[in-house]
Amino acid sequence: MGGESQKGKVLVTGASGYIAGFVIKALVADGWQVRGTIRNLARAAEVRATLGLPNLELVACDLMSDAGWAEAMAGVDYVQHIASPIPAGEPKDPNELIVPAREGALRALRFAQAAGVKRVVMTSSMAAIAYGHPDGSPPFTEANWSNIDSMDAYAYIKSKTLAERAARDWMAAHGGAMEYVSINPAAVLGPVLGADFSTSLEVVKKLLDGALPGLPNLGFGVVDVRDVAALHVQAMVTAGLNGERFIAQGRFIWMREVAEVLKAGLGAKAKRVPTRGLPNWLLKLLANFDATLKMVVPELGRRRDASAVHALQLLGWKTRDEATTILDCANSLIEKGLVKG
């Protein structure tokens, strides 16, 4: 990054990803020296251009291979382990997601500890907390874990739950002096830096595109990507957090509320956003032709409230209001040409 940082060096895994991009930008703005990992260095120029960081140091690492990890960790003070497979649809074999998520987390911890890293902050998910519980459960807290034997625990849920559990078990057995913190975000929305954005943004994109003939009975907890990045940095530098777990979620919001925000805030730019409800049977029919929709069918009518009071009390963290996040997301997708005109 041009000269040694006074603060130290941070390795961010999965540097081409949505959350990782904002974490990298937050760290650089805060004066840290940053090294990022990507699977293929052929994408290095594209990643640097997307982040607006022409001198960002990037190294090649794969979640399923030891190659490059020792070099990536050399001289590093902290690790932000964000890389994890995110599917566009439900894989035929859940292990396509579970194995790289779990093995990647353990590989990052093993090489971090060997390199003398002080603390690893790992991006987990509300997927590891809020699934497989009865409807009407009280708001979820960091004490909850998803029940992966439940019918609504699809492959992504299992991958995030098993990866975080494996990481915590490994730390308990082998962590030594190294510290570990996990961040568990809900649906991450907000502005985009480029075309490589999170699957969670497909909700806003599909509404703007007019890809849905109506509004399905779906909802999700919302959190702003900028606030998620800020929480990653705070969880890295704040003393006394070893073993902590932080839910990153604002309010639970239904799709009809998202549509109302878009209609009210965008005017003509939201002309394709539907206003009528979409019956469950019709969404299930459409899901046969759309892998992203197929993944959300089990979520129809499900409400998952969660409390981020722990992060507020320990770190003073809170997320901006949902309308700001949704509108910044929509305007950014439109400006970048990622929504049909």
| Catalytic residue positions, numbered | 160
> How many Å apart are CA 331 and CA 92, to the nearest integer?
35
Query: What contacts 24+ positions apart, CB below 8 Å, involve 258-262?
Result: 258/203, 258/204, 258/207, 258/326, 259/207, 259/215, 261/322, 261/323, 261/326, 261/327, 262/204, 262/207, 262/208, 262/326, 262/327, 262/330
The three-state secondary structure class of 216 is coil
Tokens of 278: 């979409």
Provide the 8-state DSSP code for 131.
Answer: S
> How many Å apart are CA 228 and CA 316, to the nearest integer?
13
Name the amino acid, one letter, at 255.
Answer: M
Return the closest-CA partner of residue 299 out of 161, 129, 135.
135
Q: How many CA atoms lie within 13 A of 67 on its CB side?
A: 7
